[in-house]
Amino acid sequence: MAFIPHTPQDVAEMLAEIGVESIEQLFDEIPSAIRVADLPGIPDALNEMEIGKLMTQRASCDGQPLSFLGAGAYEHHIPAAVWAIATRGEYYSAYTPYQAEASQGTLQTIYEFQTMIASLTGMAVANASLYDGASAFAEALLMAVRIHRKSSSLRVLVPRAVHPHYRAAARSITGHQGIRLEELAYDQLSGRTPVEALAAFEREDIAALAIQQPNFFGVLEDVDALSDWARRRAIPVVAVVNPTSLALLKPPGAWRGPADVVVGEGQPLGVPLSSGGPYFGFMATRTEHVRQMPGRIVGRTLDAAGQPGFTLTLQAREQHIRRGRATSNICTNQGLMVTAATVYLSLMGARGLERVAAACHARTRELVSTLSRIPGVRSAFSAAHFHECVLQLDRPVAPVLEQLAQRDILAGLDLSPHYPELAHALLVCATETKTSADIRTLASAVREALTAEAAA
């Protein structure tokens, strides 16, 4: 509920009913020595009108910059119906469906989500859900190692073109279990991970191969060649995908060497940017690997009367059943985000999602074409891309971005901290939310910033 409805009289009646004189008396078992007497630095309580005014003022400080940032979190149009439905009380307050008989609505929502993710990825089964795309990637690598029982090396091949935050999270999560991430170089002309980069591992014991499509640069990898190399050597393939791109691109389940595990960040599916979260990760796999998959799985069944029903299945994989033998520490479904994604996918449908993906691609092509006509700006890679692209500037990126930020424009991500070998590289993104006028505004600002920088 949006407010606390209890009057002093209501409180007094409830206290009298349970036989205590004050709310303080409810906590008398807590020793006074460890109780906090006051909260220094916490201001006095505000009423509804005052808090509304304060929040409006704070929100206005964020502004509404024109953003061409991507790098794993994307600004998409979210139909108003998505959150109007997701924040209804029956959805918003639903949490853990431990009791199937009392949670049929929640379970069906999760089941529908799983079905749509499995369809998008071309896999047999999906879970719901994981914390975010990065931790989902780490969980997928752990799962791939469990799948590949014939391998004893714990060596996983991960292209450098995989999102650097995903690689860092994977090292943190898997490193303590002895797993070694060995990086594959990308081709600095195309931006792809060439299949030749795998030649050094031809006869070696490799536990798994990761492939991101599109990769962090927005470049489309030769997934058939890479996955086929792994499949011929019985090496499990972990695919990292952007769910929006799957409306246009071949799903990992249909690659020449079909993926064993597919993961990604679900934020593009109806979840706002929200200063970085909360987001959710998704995971899908093949039927034969389902018992190795972390997270929850909802199944559809028939009751004794022949009526359809939904229930959690294969629960022994989870902490809340057998903590000591758990597949993973992932034991809670991020219900609200998954609900929003389910509503979004239901509203968009296959054709709607395809139109969104096509619009994103078209806007990025327009963006790259427009910016590349500015002296000192060129496309860094030759390979095809989706809705992100790396641009090469003729000078350091950070000062240019700072100038544009002063004009309320977030022009992209400086890649120099992550890929110093690319020198002055800028990752830009355009989704369906950007117009031709927006692109012209950015181009004009970039041109002026480069001119001012040169004159300084």
374 and 244 inside one domain: no
3-class SS of residue 186: coil
Please provide the distance, in angstroms rounded to a whole number, between the alpha carbons at the two ends of the chain: 56
239 and 155 inside one domain: yes
Any domain includes 450: yes
288 and 327 inside one domain: yes
Mean pLDDT for each 10-residue chunk of the chain (456 residues)?
77 94 91 87 87 90 92 97 93 78 89 97 94 95 96 97 98 94 97 97 96 98 98 97 98 98 97 89 96 90 92 68 67 80 97 98 98 97 97 96 96 97 97 97 96 71
Any domain includes 102: yes
397 and 269 inside one domain: no
Angle at 329 between CA 171 and CA 264, to 5 degrees: 60
- Identify the CATH number of the domain in which residue 193 sits: 3.40.640.10
Q: How far apart are CA 410 and CA 375, in angstroms?
A: 20
Q: Which long-range contacts (CB under 8 A, 24 or more apart) does 381-385 make?
A: 381/189, 381/190, 381/191, 381/192, 381/217, 381/219, 382/189, 382/190, 382/191, 383/190, 383/191, 383/192, 383/219, 383/220, 384/219, 384/220, 385/191, 385/214, 385/217, 385/218, 385/219, 385/220
Q: How far apart are CA 378 and CA 60, in angstroms?
A: 35
Any domain includes 49: no
Domain end among 344, 373, 407: 344
H/E stretch holding 302 reads strand 298-302
The bridge status of strand 281-285 relative to strand 125-126 is antiparallel
Any domain includes 285: yes
307 and 331 inside one domain: yes
165 and 102 inside one domain: yes
Domain end among 294, 324, 344: 344
215 and 130 inside one domain: yes
Any domain includes 144: yes
331 and 423 inside one domain: no
Using one digit for the tens of pLDDT, what is the confidence trace for 109-156? 999 999 999 999 999 999 988 899 999 999 999 999 999 999 999 999
385 and 298 inside one domain: no
327 and 449 inside one domain: no
Tokens of 284: 């899908």
140 and 261 inside one domain: yes
- Number of domain units in the chain: 2
pLDDT value at residue 32:
87
285 and 157 inside one domain: yes
pLDDT value at residue 273:
93
Domain that holds residue 161: 80-344
**If you search the block for the tokens 């049929």, which residue do you land on?**
104
Domain end among 301, 327, 344: 344
Using one digit for the tens of pLDDT, what is the confidence trace for 355-414? 999 999 999 999 999 999 999 999 999 999 999 999 999 999 999 999 999 999 999 999
**pTM assigned to the model:** 0.89
- Identify the CATH number of the domain in which residue 435 sits: 3.90.1150.10
Q: How far apart are CA 163 and CA 269, in angstroms?
A: 19
